[in-house]
């Protein structure tokens, strides 16, 4: 049995959530959603090539966690990384140009959808290897600790990564060395076509994380308010120096694993049930009912986001393809220091 | 009328087989609906449509194998107005205040500009460089490893040499990695507000969650120097901006006796000239007529300086430099007028780039307050809002305002024949205290002459 979306009784909105913050959280989720909806179209028309893994349905996770990170905090994500990159401050232009494989992209067009890197925004990439981001996050956090910075590294990964050795190793070392990592396990129930209970004996991942000796919480990942609350608590702890923390964020992807899969592993009804808990719509219903935002706000947000997406697509289309002579550049180190790499 | 084409379902897919249609001719479809199933080399997949409307025609039979991109169905405009897809954006794109009046495409600045790491500055002033004394290779290595620019460190060791401790200290100061403007956290409201009142977000200190910049932080950072800026704290920001515009316009109408002149300008030569120039250029390098009109206005203002300057204490103070105000209307309502300083010295391409830049930043909220001050003449372009003629209201204390209407094909008499020519009505509103219609006419005729022979717009064209 996979998890069913229970109709949760949501707590009242927290008092400190005013209209401005509500709009901020709402707009961020809408930005991610509309960006990806456009990506689907552009993939179908073969403007975007390679792989494309959509985050649609899971937006509350990146939005809620990122709301608690400062610009100097770092983020590591997976191949399903558009939402994390955008919410952390990579511009839509830089992200879209990357999708298009243009030099103007955040990874110079060399990474594509799965590898959105941006040092200025401290986004250390998507990663095509399941679990591959975990040791990277551990390393970033170790560097921060040794240099006594009070930054946090948020590491996002799917529940599928829990089966990897790298997960075990990083969790252990992070707890052992008190590394400032926020582990964010996005449990969307399926690793490609494999439901969690088909591969794992113990499926309560927060409990498993606690076994490594770190604070761990299970969180409703469809509710941006809950994610925000949990992230606030965890980030505060980590910044206070008490070592890593773990959030298991229960969520669901509404679309196929990558751009298209036949989705034989789940029923359409199940997907529809989860769509009732759409993070954007359910948040909207609550903030509208509370009188924080109204339809005019929504129209405005949507219009601004639509413009931003249009602009990003136009920017990406107008971008430059890497000249052939450059193809082997930056593949191997040429021995010069990282500082000399022309950006 | 839209098309549904064989989608690419994977980077390696070249063609696909239509298994079956999920719709019939005449069915309504909405963006996101499943329209067909398609078989690829790997599996059969239900595919979605990206248009909303009525299925007008199915062009491909089930069983047919077609290449990616092949049109498979035609989707007509929906007969029922209400069939908006589930993820329709709900934008109200046609309301007049949503696009800037200048003829600006969504800006295409060439690259996402990245900011460098702030340098570790120890010692006297922001950018003072020191002839640093690096005695020890160990220290040099450390500096390299910590990426500290030792030329910016003042050493505390013997003879001013840089010590290990100096380097570590400097590294700690840069320890917070570069936070470029775009990676700052800014709420949408704050961003909008900053655009409205022209506040540079990079100087605003955020007080929100995780240091996010909030609307109140932007207001706090605004220096309410001129009266188009915020004063009262009450009401929404849009209300406040409206109130500021109201005050300025009231003052203009009360104090400035306007006269208006207009001239229909043949833009066929400009159109040809721009087409020629733009051929082979990348889209972001192309110049639009709006930029050429700015250039002509700046040149005309320089040659008719009586219209370029300010009305101060009962007389006109004219200026040699043309600081061109460009009216940009904001989506949230209201106007800002960023200023292109020294426009008389800027080429068409430079003005084009500057225009895109300020429009984009005005909308994004990244104009600096210095960019909103000091205009000597203003141009308002409502051409893309579809109006023929703009009779502008002068922004006090300036002396004149240039209005640009829509560029359209209109009948004009050329060489004794009526022809359809691209043309626009260009107007001048001027302060009658400072000048008379005679001066104003000279200005418009100059603009006309420049646009009829656009080679004159180029720096060495004269
Ligand atoms: C080490 C490794 N093993 C297998 C794969 C193939 N693979 C790609 S995505 C994926 C599923 C991962 O699922 P999960 O971690 O839950 O993340 P989700 O896709 O649900 O976001 C697998 C097995 C891989 N990329 N890397």
Task: With CB atoms and an 8 Å threshold, state whether B43 touches A343.
Answer: no
Report yes or no on A207 lying in a domain.
yes
Structure tokens that stand for B443 in this block: 């200005």
Chain A with chain B: Cβ pairs closer than 8 A = 152
Q: Could B89 and A88 be called an inter-chain contact, meaning their C-beta atoms sit closer than 8 Å?
A: no
CB contact under 8 A, B210 and A147: no
Domain-located, residue A168: yes
- The number of distinct structural domains making up chain A is 1
Distance CA B27, CA B5 (A): 17
Q: What does the mean pLDDT of chain B come to?
A: 79
pLDDT exceeds 90 at position B71? yes
Residues B60 and A69: their CA atoms lie apart, in Å, by: 51
Q: Which residues of B touch A49 (CB under 8 A)?
A: 8, 11
Do the chains contact at B180 and A121, CB–CB below 8 Å? yes
Q: How many whole angstroms separate alpha carbon A150 and alpha carbon A238?
A: 9
Of A18-27, B93-102, B389-398, B402-411, the least confident: B93-102
pLDDT at A251: 98
> How much is the average pLDDT of A156-185?
97
Q: Residue B182: is its pLDDT beyond 60?
A: no
For residue A130, the SS3 value is coil
Q: How many CB atoms lie within 10 A of CB B70?
A: 16
Say if residue A45 is preceded by a cis peptide, omega within 30 of 0: no
Question: What CATH number corresponds to the domain at position A24?
Answer: 3.40.50.970
**Residue A262: other Cβ atoms inside 10 A:** 14
Q: Is A130 in the pocket of ligand 1 (CB under 6 A)?
A: yes
Query: Residue A236: what pLDDT?
Result: 95
> Do A147 and B175 count as a contact with CB atoms less than 8 A apart?
yes
Give the list of residues 6+ apart from residue B270 with CB closer than 8 angstroms, or none: B289, B292, B422, B451, B452, B454
* A215 in Cβ contact with A237 (< 8 Å): yes
Using CA atoms, how far residue B265 sits from A17, B404, B423, in Å, is: 55, 10, 5
Residue B328 confidence (pLDDT): 87
pTM attached to this predicted model: 0.60
Among partner residues B9, B105, B182, which is closest to A260 by beta-carbon distance?
B9
To which residue do tokens 């952390």 refer? Answer: A88
d(CA A245, CA A213): 9
pLDDT band, residue B461 (cuts 50/70/90): very low
Q: Which of A315, A319, A322, A339 to mutate to test the interface with B (most CBs of B within 10 A)?
A: A315
Tokens of A99: 């999708």
Q: What angle do helix axes A19-44 and A59-66 make, rounded to 10 degrees? A: 130
Region B172-185: mean pLDDT is 48
pLDDT at B104: 35
Q: What pLDDT was estimated at residue A326? A: 84
CA angle A106/A109/A308 to nearest 5° reads 50
- The DSSP call for residue A163 is G
% of chain A at pLDDT higher than 70: 94
pLDDT value of residue A267:
93
* pLDDT (mean) for A220-249: 96
Tokens of B101: 């009046």
Rounded-to-10 torsion of CA A190, A194, A200, A201: 110
Show the tokens assigned to B304: 């008719």
**A14 in contact with B at a CB cutoff of 8 Å?**
no
Q: Looking at ligand 1, which atom is closest to the CA of residue A162?
A: 15
In a domain, A261, yes or no: yes
More confident residue, B385 or B421: B421
Is a pLDDT exceeding 70 seen at residue A335? no
Taking the centre of ligand 1 as the mean of its atom positions, its distance from the CA of residue A65, in whole angstroms, is 22
Domain assignment of residue A197, yes or no: yes
* Angle subtended by helix axes A295-317 and A92-99, to nearest 10: 50
Q: Which atom of ligand 1 is nearest to the CA of A188?
A: 20
A46, A67, A104 member nearest B209 (Cβ):
A67
- Between B320 and B235, whose confidence is greater? B320
pLDDT in tens, A114-140: 999 999 999 999 999 999 999 999 999
Query: Rounded mean pLDDT of A310-315?
Result: 95
The one-character DSSP state at A108 is: T
Domain of A290, in residue numbers = 19-313
pLDDT band at B90 (very low <50, low <70, confident <90, very high): very low
Shortest CA gap B208–chain A (Å)? 9
b/e map B33-67, b = 16+ CB within 10 Å: bebbbbbbeeeebbbbbbbbbbbbebbbeeeeebe
Local confidence band at B197 (pLDDT 50, 70, 90 cut-offs): confident
In a domain, A299, yes or no: yes
A251 lines ligand 1 (CB under 6 A): no
Asked whether residue A325 is assigned to any structural domain, the reply reads no
Q: How far apart are CA B307 and CA A262, in angstroms?
A: 69
Q: For residue A321, what is the DSSP state?
A: B
- Tell me what pLDDT residue B462 has: 39
Each residue of B215-251: pLDDT tens digit?
Answer: 988 888 875 444 343 344 456 667 777 877 888 888 8
The rounded Å distance from CA A191 to ligand 1 centre is: 6
The closest of B10, B15, B18 to B35, measured between CA atoms, is B18
The reply to whether A243 falls in a domain is yes
Of residues B113, B111, B133, the one with CA closest to residue B181: B113
Q: Assess A67–B contact: CB distance below 8 Å, yes or no.
A: yes
Question: Exposed (0-12), middle (13-18) or buried (19+): which is B384, by Cβ within 10 Å?
Answer: middle
- Contact map slice: A 165-184 vs B, CB within 8 A: none
Q: Which of A68, A104, A306 sits opposite B209 (nearest CB)?
A: A68
Question: CB of A191 closer than 6 A to ligand 1?
Answer: yes
Q: Which residues pair with B3 in a beta bridge?
A: B74
How many whole angstroms from B309 Cα to the centroid of ligand 1?
A: 66
Q: How far is the CA of A192 from the centre of ligand 1 (A)?
A: 6
pLDDT at B401: 97
Asked if residue A46 has pLDDT above 60, the reply is yes
For strand A181-187 and strand A245-250, is the pairing parallel, antiparallel, or unpaired? parallel
* SS3 assignment for chain B: CEEEECCCCCCCCCEEEEEEECCCCCCEECCCCEEEEEECCCCEEEEECCCCEEEEEECCCCCCEEECCCEEEEEECCCCCCCCCCCCCCCCCCCHHHCCCCCCCCCCCCCCCCCCCCCCCCCCCCCCCCCCECCCHHHHHHHHHCCCCHHHCCCCCHHHECCHHHHHHHHHHCCCCCCCHHHCCECHHHHHHHHHHCCCHHHCCCCCHHHCECHHHHHHHCCCCCCCCCCCCCCCHHHHHHHHHHHHHHHHHHHCCEEEEEEEEECHHHHHHHHHHHCCCCHHHCCCHHHHHHHHHHHHHHHCHHHCEEEECCEEEECCCCCEEECEECCCCCEECCEECCHHHCCHHHHHHHHHHHHHHHHHCCCCHHHHCCCCEEEEECHHHCCCCCCCCCCCCECEEEEECCCEEEEEEECCEEEEEEEEEEEEEEECCCCCHHHHHHHHHHHHHHHHCHHHHCCCCC
Residue numbers of A between 209 and 228 with CB closer than 8 Å to B: none
> pLDDT, tens digit, for every residue of A55-91?
999 999 999 999 999 999 999 999 999 999 999 999 9
Q: In this structure, how many other beta carbons lie within 10 angstroms of the beta carbon of residue A310? A: 13
The answer as to whether A7 is a domain residue is no
- Lowest pLDDT segment from B24-28, B113-117, B144-148: B113-117
Helix (H, G, I), strand (E, B) or coil at A288: helix
pLDDT number for residue A340? 45
For the segment B124-158, what is each residue's pLDDT rounded down to a tens digit?
Answer: 333 334 445 666 777 777 777 777 777 666 677 76
Task: Say if the Cβ atoms of A147 and B177 lie within 8 Å.
Answer: no
**A193 vs B231, residue with greater confidence:** A193
Is A188's C-beta closer than 6 angstroms to any atom of ligand 1? yes
Residue of A303, A310, A343 to mutate when probing chain B, most B C-beta within 10 A: A303
Residue B221: what pLDDT? Answer: 80
Which domains, from first to last, does chain B contain?
A: 1-88 (2.40.50.100), 94-183 (no CATH), 257-457 (3.30.559.10)
First to last CA, chain A: 49
């Amino acid at each position: 049995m996979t998890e069913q979306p229970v109709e949760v009784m949501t707590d009242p909105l927290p008092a400190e959530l005013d209209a401005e913050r509500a709009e901020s959280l709402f707009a961020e989720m809408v930005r991610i959603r509309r960006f990806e909806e456009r990506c689907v179209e552009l993939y179908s028309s073969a403007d975007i090539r390679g792989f494309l893994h959509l985050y649609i349905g899971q937006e509350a996770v990146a939005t809620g966690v990122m709301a608690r990170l400062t610009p100097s905090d770092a983020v590591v994500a997976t191949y399903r990384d558009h939402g994390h990159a955008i919410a952390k401050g990579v511009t839509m232009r830089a992200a879209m140009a990357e999708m298009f494989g243009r030099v103007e992209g955040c990874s110079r067009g060399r990474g594509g959808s799965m590898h959105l890197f941006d040092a200025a925004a401290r986004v250390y990439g998507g990663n095509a290897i399941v679990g591959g981001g975990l040791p990277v996050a551990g390393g970033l956090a170790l560097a921060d600790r040794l240099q006594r910075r009070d930054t946090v590294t948020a590491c996002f990964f799917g529940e599928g990564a829990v089966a990897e050795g790298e997960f075990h190793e990083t969790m252990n070392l992070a707890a052992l060395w008190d590394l400032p990592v926020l582990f964010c396990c996005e449990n969307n129930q399926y690793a490609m076509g494999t439901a969690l209970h088909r591969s794992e004996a113990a499926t309560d991942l927060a409990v498993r994380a606690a076994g490594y000796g770190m604070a761990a919480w299970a969180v409703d990942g469809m509710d941006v308010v809950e994610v925000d609350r949990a992230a606030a608590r965890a980030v505060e702890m980590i910044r206070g120096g008490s070592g890593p923390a773990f959030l298991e964020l229960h969520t669901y992807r509404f679309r196929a694993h990558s751009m298209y899969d036949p989705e034989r592993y789940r029923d359409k009804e199940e997907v529809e049930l989860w769509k009732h808990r759409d993070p954007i719509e359910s948040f909207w219903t609550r903030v509208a009912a509370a009188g924080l935002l109204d339809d005019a706000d929504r129209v405005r947000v949507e219009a601004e986001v639509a413009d931003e997406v249009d602009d990003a697509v136009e920017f990406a289309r107008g971008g430059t393809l890497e000249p052939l002579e450059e193809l082997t550049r930056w593949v191997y180190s040429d021995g010069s220091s990282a500082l000399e790499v022309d950006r | 009328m839209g098309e549904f084409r064989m989608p690419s379902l994977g980077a390696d897919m070249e063609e696909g087989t239509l298994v079956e249609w999920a719709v019939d001719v005449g069915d309504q479809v909405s963006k996101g609906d499943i329209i067909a199933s398609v078989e690829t080399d790997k599996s059969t997949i239900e595919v979605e449509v990206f248009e909303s409307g009525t299925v007008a025609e199915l062009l491909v039979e089930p069983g047919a194998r077609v290449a990616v991109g092949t049109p498979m169905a035609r989707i007509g405009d929906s007969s029922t107005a209400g069939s908006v897809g589930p993820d329709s954006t709900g934008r109200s794109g046609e309301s007049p205040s949503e696009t800037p009046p200048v003829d600006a495409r969504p800006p295409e600045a060439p690259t996402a500009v990245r900011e460098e790491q702030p340098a570790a500055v120890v010692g006297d002033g922001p950018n003072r460089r020191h002839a640093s004394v690096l005695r020890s290779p160990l220290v040099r290595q450390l500096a390299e490893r910590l990426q500290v620019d030792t030329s910016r460190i003042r050493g505390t060791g013997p003879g001013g040499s840089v010590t290990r401790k100096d380097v570590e200290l400097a590294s700690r100061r840069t320890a917070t990695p570069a936070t470029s403007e775009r990676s700052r956290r800014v709420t949408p409201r704050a961003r909008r507000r900053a655009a409205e009142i022209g506040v540079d977000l990079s100087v605003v200190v955020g007080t929100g969650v995780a240091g996010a910049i909030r609307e109140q932080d932007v207001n706090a950072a605004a220096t309410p120097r001129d009266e188009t800026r915020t004063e009262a704290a009450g009401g929404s920001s849009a209300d406040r901006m409206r109130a500021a515009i109201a005050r300025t316009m009231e003052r203009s109408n009360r104090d400035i006796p306007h006269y208006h002149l207009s001239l229909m300008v043949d833009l066929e030569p400009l159109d040809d000239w721009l087409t020629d120039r733009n051929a082979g250029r990348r889209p972001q390098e192309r110049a639009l007529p709006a930029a050429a009109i700015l250039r002509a206005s700046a040149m005309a203002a320089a040659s008719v300086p009586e219209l370029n300057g300010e009305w101060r204490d009962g007389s006109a103070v004219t200026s040699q430099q043309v600081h061109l105000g460009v009216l940009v209307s904001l989506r949230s309502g209201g106007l800002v007028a960023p200023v292109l300083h020294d426009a008389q010295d800027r080429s068409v391409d430079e003005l084009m780039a500057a225009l895109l830049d300020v429009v984009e930043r005005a909308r994004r909220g990244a104009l600096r307050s210095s960019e909103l001050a000091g205009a000597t003449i203003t141009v308002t372009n409502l051409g893309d809002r579809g109006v023929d003629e703009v009779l502008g209201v002068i922004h006090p204390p300036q002396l004149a305002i240039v209005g640009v209407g829509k560029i359209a094909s209109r009948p004009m008499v050329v060489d004794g024949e009526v022809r359809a020519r691209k043309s626009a009505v260009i107007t001048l509103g001027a302060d009658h205290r400072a000048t008379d219609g005679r001066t104003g006419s000279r200005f418009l005729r100059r603009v006309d002459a420049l646009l009829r022979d656009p080679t004159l717009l180029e720096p060495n064209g004269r």
